């Protein structure tokens, strides 16, 4: 029988991109968990908190689609990835040197520029190199689970612990270490996708001729943009304003707050890959509907629940909403257009979603929080989740098991298929 290598190139990519994307979100979200300390040290208000989140999202929304376009055109994808990881790690370290709001604001703008292209790059490469039966799992695991583990579990616990042990400046200094390690492994391990294999995969999936400008004409693409913008509004309002709300309005300590936020992260890590994997059989649309419904619990639970254990339980359940985030951001867009446009499709979804959900949302919510109270952004988050749920009803099903578009090529990379075949034992 056939024996597949555990340490196959596909599995290597999944592991490397898991840590890469996870570290992107660790760096992106770290400032939210440290803001109660930073605001006290630098004298910042809620509007400035929103502006720091908006600054990164603004440049991310521009560099995301550009990165998606470049990921479809650039020759050495691995060199570009390694350089981007190194650059955002250096910028993260420089956060520790900031002494004013202006310095932090400029650094957030720069971080968005270099982090924006990373997700379209990694997800595009992974879509090309994944076997069809594992594509949903690979994309969901590297995007949602890594985001959750690093951004929503490790970030609040580790970054707050480091800041308590030393100070928030030192916590940022230490973020350079994993970035250096990841840059090395990306440059050493990642291969540039084989164009011949790529076009063969495409010809097996679709004969539709689509120009780049036609990507937005696909219903699922603009629906994904709308849904992702709304769920980004929910997620970012929760992640940006939630920690400060728990400390300043609920009266929790920074340590207790970090564990409450981590409860969401634990569920995010589990459901982030579980729901996309289940959707391989149930279909993307039913899984998105269930996930979108549970997402509504997230902002409401920390507003209306005072019991910390119950709050953590509800956040864990509500974290199943991470499924619709990953589905609308990468899985559905990738399956809705010919594969050579996958990078652009993901880049547009992320870029426009970041513009509304990541840029305008925290800016407006920061002003609303200063005017009406820190709880206001969380009510906005709940409303956005409800509208997103309604929009998911109009998705066109894309799961290969439901629409009968199983690709001719079943595995990750042609040369590895030949190696696998050679391991047939008598």
Helix axes 308-318, 297-304, angle to 10 degrees: 170
Which one, of 29, 189, 178, lies nearest residue 90 by Cα? 178
| Residues 200, 206, 207, 210, CA torsion sign | negative
**pLDDT at position 194:** 66
- The architecture that CATH gives domain 9-399 is Up-down Bundle (1.20)
Q: 224: buried, middle or exposed (CB in 10 Å: 19+, 13-18, 0-12)?
A: buried
pLDDT of residue 58: 85
Cα pseudo-dihedral 63, 20, 34, 266, rounded to 10: 120
What's the confidence (pLDDT) of residue 70? 67
Segments in 4-45 forming alpha helices (H): 9-42
- Sequence-ordered alpha helix ranges (H) in 118-218: 118-129, 135-140, 146, 160-165, 168-173, 176-189, 195-205
Q: Which residues contact 322 (CB under 8 A, 6 or more apart)?
A: 144, 147, 148, 267, 268, 271, 272, 275, 291, 295
Q: Which long-range contacts (CB under 8 A, 24 or more apart) does 193-197 make?
A: 193/77, 193/125, 193/128, 193/129, 194/413, 194/414, 197/128, 197/409, 197/413, 197/414
Q: Give CA–CA dist 197/125, Å, rounded.
A: 12
Contact criterion met (CB below 8 Å) for 366 and 380: no
Question: What is the Cα 354 distance to its own chain's centre?
Answer: 11
76-96 in b/e form (b: 16+ CB < 10 A) is: ebbebbbebbbbbbbbbbbbb
Residues of the chain with pLDDT under 70: 1-6, 67-74, 132, 136, 193-213, 339-340, 343, 404-426
Helix or strand or coil: residue 250?
A: coil
* 397 DSSP 8-state letter: P
> Cβ distance 199 to 58 under 8 Å?
no
Half-sphere exposure of 357 (CA within 13 A, CB side): 28
**DSSP 8-class letter at 130:** S
Please say whether the beta carbons of 347 and 65 come within 8 A.
Answer: yes
pLDDT score, position 413: 45
At 69 the pLDDT is 67
């Amino acid at each position: 029988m056939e024996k597949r290598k555990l340490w196959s190139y596909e599995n290597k990519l999944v592991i490397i991109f898991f840590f890469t994307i996870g570290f992107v979100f660790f760096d992106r979200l770290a400032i939210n968990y440290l803001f109660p300390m930073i605001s006290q040290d630098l004298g910042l208000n809620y509007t400035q908190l929103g502006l720091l989140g908006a600054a990164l999202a603004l440049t991310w929304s521009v560099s995301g689609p550009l990165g998606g376009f470049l990921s479809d055109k650039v020759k050495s994808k691995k060199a570009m990835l390694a350089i981007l990881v190194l650059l955002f790690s250096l910028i993260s370290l420089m956060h520790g040197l900031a002494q004013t709001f202006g310095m932090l604001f400029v650094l957030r703008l720069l971080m968005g520029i270099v982090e924006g292209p990373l997700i379209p790059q990694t997800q595009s490469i992974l879509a090309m190199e994944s076997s069809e039966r594992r594509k949903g799992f690979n994309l969901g695991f590297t995007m949602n689970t890594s985001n959750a583990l690093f951004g929503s579990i490790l970030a609040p616990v580790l970054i707050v612990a480091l800041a308590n042990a030393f100070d928030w400046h030192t916590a940022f200094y230490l973020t350079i270490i994993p970035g250096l390690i990841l840059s090395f492994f990306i440059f050493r391990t990642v291969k540039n996708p084989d164009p011949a294999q790529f076009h063969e995969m495409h010809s097996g999936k679709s004969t539709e001729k689509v120009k780049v400008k036609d990507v937005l004409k696909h219903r699922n693409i603009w629906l994904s943009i709308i849904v992702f913008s709304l769920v980004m509004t929910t997620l970012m309002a929760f992640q940006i304003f939630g920690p400060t709300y728990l400390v300043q309005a609920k009266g929790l300590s920074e340590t207790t707050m970090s564990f409450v936020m981590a409860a969401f992260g634990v569920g995010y890590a589990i459901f982030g890959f579980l729901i996309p994997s289940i959707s391989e059989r149930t279909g993307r649309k039913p899984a998105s509907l269930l996930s979108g419904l549970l997402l509504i619990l997230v902002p409401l639970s920390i507003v209306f629940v005072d019991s910390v254990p119950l709050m953590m339980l509800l956040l864990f359940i509500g974290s199943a909403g991470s499924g619709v985030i990953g589905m609308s951001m990468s899985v559905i867009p990738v399956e809705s257009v010919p594969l050579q446009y996958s990078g652009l499709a993901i880049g547009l979804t992320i870029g426009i979603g970041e513009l509304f959900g990541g840029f305008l949302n925290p800016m407006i919510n920061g002003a609303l929080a200063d005017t009406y109270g820190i709880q206001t952004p969380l009510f906005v988050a709940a409303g956005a989740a409800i509208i997103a749920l309604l929009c998911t009803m109009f998705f066109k099903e894309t799961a290969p098991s439901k629409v009968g578009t199983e690709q001719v090529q079943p595995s990750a990379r042609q040369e590895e298929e030949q190696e696998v075949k050679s391991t047939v034992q008598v």
